[in-house]
Amino acid sequence: MGLLVVFGLFPDQSTLTEVDAQDRTAEELLDHLETGDRDFSAEYQREYFGDGWLDLDGDGCSTRNEILARDLQNVTYRSGTDDCVVDSGVLEDLYTGQTLTFQRGEDTSSQVQIDHVVALSDAWQKGAQELSEDQRHRFANDPLNLEAVSGPVNTAKSNSDASEWLPPDPESHCEYAGRQISVKAKYELWVTAEERQALENILQTCPDQPAYESAV
């Protein structure tokens, strides 16, 4: 194991571990991923990955709130929720490099959204059809595959893979590639030829980019 990257207050659910580059790099993991075409044989449905955010660790807090608590700074919680429901905070957005303010509310919550680093439909078309229902639920709620980001940027990304979309801030590309590769390796998903080339191009600029792990 390598360095512990502390993101928030929920070590069992939300902490990511950065694997020592001497042990396993993102580039090495990418070399072991299979290459294939998208599988359109079964239509993607969001419900295949569970009904919204779950509470996999059983602490009473949804995955969404745990990721907000992990990624935001100066977090406040809604009263009466046992420090569970995040009410506000400040996000240093990985994807844009901007500082964003999160305030829970009907008209404001969507300004900060939780991105599936590997989009659910992308996963479905590249191996997740072979996962069990429980594995798909865990995939959709795995902190390794989740990042609080700008809502409009998350919407713009939609279901794209790395050959189709990258975060606006180039400084985030190496970590983004490392996270995508780590997720696909963990769940034995494949990449398309174009996607592999895009990831290889990124990693040429950071060959020691580590892989990541999570407790889920």
Number of domains in the chain: 1
Would the pLDDT of 152 be above 80? yes
Q: Which two tokens stand for residue 34?
A: 């299979």
List the domain range (segments joined by +) for residue 184.
4-214
Poorest-confidence range of 61-65, 118-122, 212-216? 212-216
Q: Which two tokens stand for residue 35?
A: 């290459």
Q: Which two tokens stand for residue 36?
A: 């294939």
The pTM of the full predicted model, rounded to 2 decimals, is 0.89
Q: What value, to the nearest 5°, has the Cα angle with vertex 186 and ends 180 and 192?
A: 50
3-state SS class at 128:
helix
Give the H or E element holding residue 103.
strand 99-103
Residue 11 is predicted with a pLDDT of: 35
Determine the Cα–Cα distance for residues 205 and 69; give it in Å rounded to an integer: 31
Would the pLDDT of 155 be above 70? yes
**In Å, how far from its chain's centre is CA 159?**
13
Give the H or E element holding residue 146.
strand 146-150
Residue 214 is predicted with a pLDDT of: 83
